[in-house]
Amino acid sequence: MVARTTTQDRPAGKVLVVDDEKPLAQMVANYLIRAGFDVAQAHTGSQAVDDTRRHEPDVIVLDLGLPGMDGLEVCRRIRTFSDCYILMLTARVSEDDKITGLTTGADDYITKPFSIRELVTRVLAVLRRPRTGAAGPQPATPHVFGDLVVDPAAHEARVEDTAVALTRTEFELLVALAARPGQVLSRHELITDVWDTSWVGDERIVDVHIGNLRRKLGNDARGRGYIDTVRGVGYRMGRP
């Protein structure tokens, strides 16, 4: 049974808070409710997966340190059927742990102890993001880079006519790059395009998502990746 509460008839969005520490989950939920969100709580991994499938939240605030089915496994299972935004809460401070979480399918992370204000700000920011990612109106025609087709209208990327399973953040990064072929975009520019100008955190999160994109897209017919790194500047896609 999921406790669901809202302070508005038309909430800003649906958030699922997943943490086995019930007082902490309740505190996070209370702040999100005050910010106008429709909030539900889950306290086990299996409940989180079931509630995501049942209630289709826009954002999941997910603690990685769950007993039994941990947050990484929860994330993997949710990514088989949902592209909702997943914000990890983690007490693990090593870069490897953070990269593992993002590679599993999370979009962002906050390290415990964390600022509730920062968490609420990040949830607000993601719900202001356009569904297709890059700033401005999207062209009707897809972007084509050899065997790679990036179709913002269909929210789909295809390589050799096979759809590539991307998270929402990965797809939005791809659209941001594809919309400006040949142009180098810095981490800061990509953060502004994809996450929002109000986002705060480590800009190196872009590097992890770009790494995931490269792995999923593979190489072009020449054996090269579709996304280039311009050392010390940022990333770019080749011209169509």
pLDDT of residue 3: 46
Cβ(170)–Cβ(210) below 8 Å: no
pLDDT of residue 42: 96
pLDDT of residue 222: 79
pLDDT of residue 131: 47
Distance CA 53, CA 47 (A): 10
Three-state DSSP at 53 gives helix
Question: Which fold does the domain 143-237 belong to in CATH?
Answer: Arc Repressor Mutant, subunit A (1.10.10)
pLDDT of residue 198: 61
CB atoms within 10 A of CB 223: 7
Spans of the chain below 50 pLDDT: 1-10, 131-138
pLDDT of residue 175: 93
pLDDT of residue 7: 41
State residue 10 phi and psi, 5-degree precision.
Answer: -120, 85
- We find that the CATH architecture of domain 4-127 is 3-Layer(aba) Sandwich (3.40)
pLDDT of residue 125: 78
pLDDT of residue 5: 46
Three-state DSSP at 225 gives strand
pLDDT of residue 118: 85
- Helices 22-34, 116-127: inter-axial angle, 10-degree rounding: 50
- Sorted by where each begins, the domain ranges of the chain are 4-127, 143-237
Q: Which two tokens stand for residue 85?
A: 């935004």
Decide if 4-127 and 143-237 have a common fold.
no
pLDDT of residue 104: 85
